């Protein structure tokens, strides 16, 4: 439990609520070419920025708890940072440290995973260690170095059979880079397959086609993954390379995240089915796209799809994906202990709060914003609203649900019920990941229309609107030469699409129509503290609500005026 926040004696109050608008995946581009944000006609955002103080915030690397500043930010750690007001070491850093120190392999979960696989009698098919996860080094959901380290350790401990079920990325890495990972990894497995070890890729497909659904948006994805990983039911190929090349030939323009499912087979028989007595490690460290496949393995009462034969296995996640419900039951690395979040302080202070987004980002403004906590801090003070997302490719509905989200927020502002409203527009991130430039521009302009509606409502209510983002994405839609900055082109003469997040800073804009002199408020840049990260959003919102932030929170972007 935390104590209530203390009133800020310098704050003169506002009539309306503080509105935190998170434009997911919207940053300040480094390159003019490929910056879909700058290329969009965002008249409302431009007008708001011109008359409001604004500053650029860091949203990647060490500023959000990742190992290095070469690491892209992501929605999970971004919302953690904004909601927690401080920077915590995040999944990638924690897992890397646990592997380097050997703590992962000394833990009870790893020992329980390995125990059923070693020391038994020789059989035609030894019990198998299965690894399922995102097959890249994007370091947002997983990293191949972690997988390789576990395979090496399993070999040392006497495991004789390993199967890897790969989920092609194409979002946090190059859109068509799958074979850049398949070929060296196959070579790695071949090199490790000595001394009686048989290690191979068993099945796979694109992350947006199988297994990695989140927030219950499309359980059919998980069902497809279950069928190929567990039962080996799916189109058969001699190997992962053949599957990738075949689908690219059959479906021109397909990118890695959408690659169809495949099963590796020999003589018509799958080589990687999951059987009783096997062990399974889901090696993603990020929670949102890990919970559903975990439920399929762990839950006894499960009704999302017909699992058919459910093998009796020893299952572990890389991390604890939900700290409230303690899912999974077994995990290899403990998540960061995030406490004293902004939401908890607001509840203790009696602040009435609304959190809202559509399905794709609903968990981010609730679970992640609250420090990986599922429930509310106070049911009487907090309302959470989920607008159901469309289950279609995002480039086909690039406006997504931004208008519906805004409709609900306008009602909330008019009701006078809430002191603090936080919302997430997913457009810049979800559409940005498709790599379809025209769709991203459409998504930005659709979102901008909603910013105009919100600004008008905030002005009428006498509130304050903070506009920011959790990381960049739509601001960097083309691949560039890292040395020269030149756009890279495909054989057909069109730019190579970039589908991953960017390393670019994000905006923090304070729209305060009834400003009363508590901080410098000149339009544009220069009035706010510079060099900060998005973890400063929490203290900023707390000050705008009229309270003093906790002493150990990262400082707000608001400067004190000379008179104070």
**Pairing status of strand 314-319 against strand 236-237:** unpaired
Helix axes 402-415, 437-461, angle to 10 degrees: 10
Quote the crossing angle between the two packed helices 75-84 and 536-544, to the nearest 10°: 40
pLDDT computed for residue 22 by the predictor: 98
Asked if 472 and 59 count as a contact pair (C-beta separation under 8 A), the reply is yes
Q: Is residue 553 part of a domain?
A: no
Which positions are annotated as active-site residues? 75
Q: What is the mean pLDDT of residues 533-548?
A: 98
- What is the structure's pLDDT at 489? 92
Residues 135 and 220 placed together within one structural domain of the fold = yes
pLDDT over 60 at 562, yes or no: no
Rounded Cα distance between 564 and 552, Å, is 21
Q: Say how far apart CA 492 and CA 379 lie, in whole Å.
A: 56
Domain that holds residue 479: 18-90+338-544
Is residue 116 a part of any domain in this protein? yes
Q: Identify whether residues 358 and 327 lie together within a single domain.
A: no
pLDDT higher than 90, residue 336:
no
Q: What is the mean pLDDT of residues 3-31?
A: 96
Q: What is the pLDDT of residue 120?
A: 62
Q: Are residues 471 and 400 in the same domain?
A: yes
The pLDDT-based confidence of 123 (bands split at 50, 70, 90) is: low
In a domain, 7, yes or no: no
What pLDDT, on the 0 to 100 scale, is given for residue 527?
84
* Mean pLDDT score, 274-280: 98
Residue 141 CA to chain centroid, in angstroms? 7
The CATH number of whichever domain residue 463 belongs to comes to: 3.40.720.10
Residue 33 lies in a domain: yes
What are 32-35's contacts with CB under 8 Å, separation 24+?
33/478, 33/480, 33/487, 33/495, 34/437, 34/476, 34/477, 34/478, 34/480, 34/487, 34/495, 34/498, 35/475, 35/476, 35/477
Asked whether residue 170 falls in the same domain as residue 239, the answer is yes
Helix, strand or coil, per DSSP, at residue 19: strand
Q: Are residues 315 and 360 in the same domain?
A: no
Length of the chain: 564
**Residue 511: beta bridge partners?**
465
pLDDT tens digits, one per residue of 24-47 = 999 999 999 999 999 999 999 999
**Do 107 and 150 fall within a single domain?**
yes
Residue 468 near residue 533, CB atoms below 8 Å: no
pLDDT at 443: 98
Q: Which residue has the higher pLDDT, 10 or 336?
A: 10
For the chain, percent of residues with pLDDT exceeding 90? 85
Q: How confident is the model at residue 323 (pLDDT cuts 50, 70, 90)?
A: low
Residue 557 lies in a domain: no
- What phi, psi does 371 have (nearest 5°)? 75, 40
pLDDT in tens, 198-236: 999 999 999 999 999 987 889 999 999 999 999 999 999
Strand duo 420-425 + 353-358: pairing: parallel
Instruction: Average the pLDDT over each of 126-135, 345-354, 518-527 and give the range with the smallest value.
Output: 518-527
- Residue where one domain finishes, among candidates 333, 357, 373: 333
Are 293 and 366 within one domain?
A: no
- Give pLDDT, residue 564: 45
Of 165, 69, 161, nearest in space to 124 by CA: 161
Top pLDDT among 70 and 532 is at 532
- Residue 2 falls inside a structural domain: no
What pLDDT score does 491 carry?
87
Alpha helices in 251-334 (DSSP H): 291-298
- Judged against a pLDDT cut of 60, whether residue 324 lies above it is answered with no
Claim to verify: residue 446 and residue 299 sit in the same structural domain: no
* C-alpha separations of 14 from 222, 368, 562 in Å: 47, 28, 21
Q: Which of 297, 312, 333 is the last residue of a domain?
A: 333
Residues 294 and 354 in one domain: no
Q: Is a pLDDT exceeding 90 seen at residue 124?
A: no
Average pLDDT on 500-529 reads 89
Q: How many degrees, rounded to 5, is the angle at CA 520 between CA 48 and CA 41?
A: 15
Task: Say if residues 425 and 358 touch (Cβ distance below 8 Å).
Answer: no
Does the pLDDT of residue 121 top 70, yes or no?
Answer: no
User: Which pLDDT band holds residue 288 (cuts at 50, 70, 90)?
Assistant: confident
Mean per-residue pLDDT for 282-299? Answer: 94
Q: CA-CA distances (angstroms) from residue 86 to 80, 369, 487?
A: 9, 12, 36
d(CA 371, CA 79) in angstroms, rounded, equals: 8
- Hey, which residues does 303 pair with through a beta bridge? none
CATH number at residue 240: 3.40.1450.10
- Residue 550 in any domain: the answer is no
User: Is residue 226 in a domain?
Assistant: yes
pLDDT of residue 154: 98
Angle formed at CA 152 by CA 151 and CA 153, multiple of 5 degrees: 90
Please count the structural domains in the chain: 2
Nearest CA to 72 out of 27, 7, 11 is that of: 27
Whether residues 119 and 80 fall in one domain: no
> Does residue 421 contact residue 18 with C-beta atoms inside 8 Å?
yes
Taking the C-alpha atoms of residue 86 and residue 358, their distance in angstroms, rounded to an integer, is 26
**pLDDT tens per residue, range 145-189:** 999 999 999 999 999 999 999 999 998 899 999 999 999 999 999
Token pair belonging to 160: 């004789």
Per-residue model confidence as pLDDT tens digits over 477-505: 999 988 899 999 988 999 999 888 899 99
Q: Are residues 496 and 526 in the same domain?
A: yes
Angstrom distance (rounded) from CA 296 to CA 413: 40
For residues 523 and 450, membership in a common domain is answered with yes
**How many Å apart are CA 174 and CA 255, to the nearest integer?**
9
If you compute the radius of gyration of the chain from its CA atoms, what whole number of angstroms results? Answer: 24
The pLDDT of 302-329, averaged and rounded, is: 90
- How crowded is residue 49: how many other Cβ atoms within 10 Å of its Cβ? 18
Query: Mean of the pLDDT values across residues 342-346?
Result: 98
Bridge-based pairing state of the strands 262-266 and 198-206: antiparallel
Higher-pLDDT residue of 335 and 196 is 196
The whole-chain average pLDDT of the chain stands at 94
Q: Which pLDDT value is given to residue 57?
A: 97
Q: Could you count the other beta carbons within 10 Å of the beta carbon of residue 216?
A: 16
- Using an 8 Å Cβ cutoff, are 285 and 333 in contact? yes
Q: What is the pLDDT of residue 372?
A: 87
Helices (H), 27-119: 43-50, 75-84, 91-101, 103-106, 108-114
User: Which of 333, 348, 370 is the last residue in one of the domains?
Assistant: 333
**Measured between alpha carbons, how far is 260 from 203 in angstroms, rounded to an integer?**
11
Report the predicted TM-score, pTM, of the whole model to 2 decimal places. 0.75
Residue 289 pLDDT > 80: yes
C-beta separation of 109 from 330 below 8 A:
yes
Question: Regarding predicted confidence, which is higher, 321 or 542?
Answer: 542
């Amino acid at each position: 439990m935390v104590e209530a926040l203390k009133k800020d004696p310098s704050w003169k109050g506002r009539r309306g609520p503080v509105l935190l608008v998170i434009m997911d995946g919207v940053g300040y581009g480094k390159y003019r070419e490929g910056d879909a944000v700058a290329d969009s006609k965002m008249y409302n955002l431009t007008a708001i920025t011109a008359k409001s103080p604004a500053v650029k915030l860091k949203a990647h690397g060490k500023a959000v708890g990742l190992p290095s500043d070469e690491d892209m930010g992501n929605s999970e750690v971004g919302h953690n940072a904004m909601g927690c007001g401080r920077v915590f070491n995040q999944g990638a850093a924690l897992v890397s440290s646990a592997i380097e120190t050997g703590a992962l392999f000394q833990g009870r979960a790893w020992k329980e995973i390995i125990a059923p696989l070693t020391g038994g009698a020789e059989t035609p098919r030894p019990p198998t260690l299965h690894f399922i996860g995102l097959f890249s080094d994007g370091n947002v959901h997983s990293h191949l170095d972690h997988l390789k380290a576990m395979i090496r350790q399993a070999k040392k401990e006497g495991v004789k059979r390993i199967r890897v079920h790969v989920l092609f990325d194409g979002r946090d890495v190059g859109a068509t880079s799958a074979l850049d990972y398949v070929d060296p990894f196959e070579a790695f497995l071949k090199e490790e397959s000595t001394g009686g070890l048989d290690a191979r890729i068993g099945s796979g497909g694109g992350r947006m086609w199988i297994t990695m659904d989140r927030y219950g948006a499309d359980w059919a994805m998980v069902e497809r993954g279950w069928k190929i990983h567990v039962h080996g039911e799916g189109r058969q190929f001699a190997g992962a390379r053949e599957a990738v090349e075949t689908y690219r030939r059959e479906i021109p323009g397909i990118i890695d995240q959408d690659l169809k499912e495949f099963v590796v087979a020999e003589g018509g028989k799958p080589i990687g089915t999951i059987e009783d007595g096997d062990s399974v490690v889901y090696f993603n460290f990020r929670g949102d796209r890990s919970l559903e496949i975990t439920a399929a393995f762990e839950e006894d009462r499960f009704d999302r799809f017909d699992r058919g034969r459910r093998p009796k296995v020893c299952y572990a996640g890389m991390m604890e994906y939900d700290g409230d419900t303690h899912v999974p039951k077994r995990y290899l690395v403990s998540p960061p202990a995030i406490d004293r979040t902004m939401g908890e302080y607001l509840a203790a202070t009696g602040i009435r709060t609304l959190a809202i987004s559509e399905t794709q980002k609903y968990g981010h403004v609730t679970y992640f914003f609250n420090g990986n906590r599922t429930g509310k801090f106070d049911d009487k003070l907090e309302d959470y609203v989920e607008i159901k997302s469309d289950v279609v490719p995002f480039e086909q509905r690039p406006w997504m649900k931004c208008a519906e989200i805004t409709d609900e927020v306008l009602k909330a502002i008019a009701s006078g019920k809430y002191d603090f409203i936080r919302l997430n527009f997913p457009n810049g991130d979800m559409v940005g990941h498709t790599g379809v430039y025209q769709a991203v521009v459409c998504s930005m302009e659709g979102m901008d229309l909603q910013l105009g509606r919100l600004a008008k409502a905030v002005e009428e209510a006498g509130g304050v609107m903070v506009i920011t983002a959790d990381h960049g994405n739509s601001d960097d839609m083309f691949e560039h030469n890292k040395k020269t900055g030149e756009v890279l082109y495909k054989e057909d003469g069109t730019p190579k699409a970039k589908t991953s997040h960017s390393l670019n800073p994000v905006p923090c804009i304070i729209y305060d129509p009834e400003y009363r002199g508590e901080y410098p408020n000149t339009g544009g840049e220069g009035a706010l503290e510079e060099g900060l990260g998005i973890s400063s959003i929490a203290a900023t919102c707390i000050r705008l609500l009229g309270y003093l932030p906790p002493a150990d929170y990262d400082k707000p972007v608001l400067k004190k005026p000379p008179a104070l």
